[in-house]
Chains A and B, each alone.
Chain A
Amino acid sequence: DSGVTQTPKHLITATGQRVTLRCSPRSGDLSVYWYQQSLDQGLQFLIQYYNGEERAKGNILERFSAQQFPDLHSELNLSSLELGDSALYFCASSVGAGGANQPQHFGDGTRLSIL
């Protein structure tokens, strides 16, 4: 058990809809990262928050947004969903802002299926 909790585990919805994925980091971790894992793109970094502030941005679509709340949990919002958004979305957390000596601990992911 990594200590990172993601909910829900599975989500099935239709094109055009909006969903929210939730992540609770390990106790004491200040950074939250979001990654998307799909068959064609592999594992891709989306965005990082550190202590409530956006720290780094990757290949995140404009239809996607995220935030980190004062209690450090994070939410990833996906809107105007398309079939290609079907993927496994991982959240990870680390103690500090990032780096080799701050390993990232991953949750079990949320599997999003768009019908």
Chain B
Amino acid sequence: GDSVTQMEGPVTLSEEAFLTINCTYTATGYPSLFWYVQYPGEGLQLLLKATKADDKGSNKGFEATYRKETTSFHLEKGSVQVSDSAVYFCALSSNAGGTSYGKLTFGQGTILTVHP
């Protein structure tokens, strides 16, 4: 079945440091890929998405590129801020047989803490 593997956390960085959170996936067909962010006490918010190979999703300074050859969708940000402290989830939505499904399969989440 579909699965998503994220780098283990927690990740602790100083403000303005470079961020990478690795994400790899296993899926049938051509899945769509997402990064969600969860701030303390809140629900998940869509951060960015990519729907096909070589697509780059970007939002709020975060970027991720859909790499089909390495089945990866790593999240990057050039300069993190204290306000970026949250839990980040990589997820996929299956597109097996050309049919889109709403179900999201999530990675285990990576806790990011940014210090001033």
Chain A residues close to B by CB (< 8 Å): 2, 4, 31, 33, 35, 42-45, 48, 50, 55-56, 58, 90, 92, 94, 97-109
Query: Which of chain B's residues has its CB closest to A2's CB?
Result: B43
Say if the beta carbon of B101 comes within 8 Å of chain A. Answer: yes
Q: Is B24 an interface residue (CB 8 A)?
A: no
Q: What's the nearest-Cβ distance from chain A to residue B88, in Å? A: 12
Pick the contact of A33: B36, B100, B102 (CB < 8 A): B102
Q: What distance in Å separates the Cβ of B86 from its nearest Cβ neighbour in chain A?
A: 13
Judge whether B103 and A42 touch: CB under 8 Å: no
B108: interface (CB < 8 Å):
yes
Beta-carbon contact of A43 and B32 below 8 Å: no
Chain A residues within an 8 Å CB radius of B100? 97-100
Task: Give chain B interface residues in 38-52, CB to chain A under 8 Å.
Answer: 41-46, 49, 51
Instruction: List the count of A-B residue pairs having beta carbons below 8 Å apart.
Output: 69
Q: Is the CB of A4 within 8 A of B43?
A: yes
Main secondary structure of the interface of B (DSSP, over half): strand
Q: Report the Cα distance A102→B93, complex, angstroms.
A: 11
Give the residues in chain A near B101, CB-CB below 8 Å: 56, 98-99
Alpha-carbon gap, A50 to B90, bound state (A) = 24
Measured in the bound complex, the distance between the Cα atoms of B103 and A84 in whole Å is 23
Which 10 pairs of residues, A with B, have the shortest CB-CB distance? A98-B102, A99-B100, A100-B32, A106-B43, A43-B106, A100-B51, A106-B44, A45-B103, A108-B43, A42-B108
What are 26 pairs between A and B in contact, CB < 8 Å? A2-B45, A4-B43, A31-B102, A33-B104, A35-B104, A42-B106, A42-B109, A43-B89, A45-B103, A45-B104, A55-B102, A56-B101, A90-B43, A97-B102, A98-B93, A99-B100, A99-B102, A100-B32, A100-B49, A100-B51, A100-B93, A103-B46, A104-B46, A106-B44, A106-B45, A109-B43
Cα(A45)–Cα(B103), bound, Å: 7
Size bin of chain B's contact surface: 20 to 34
- B113 contacts the other chain (CB 8 A): no
Residues of B within 8 A of A31 (CB): 102
Q: Nearest Cβ distance between residue A110 and chain B, in whole angstroms?
A: 11
Are B43 and A48 neighbours in the complex by a CB distance under 8 Å? no
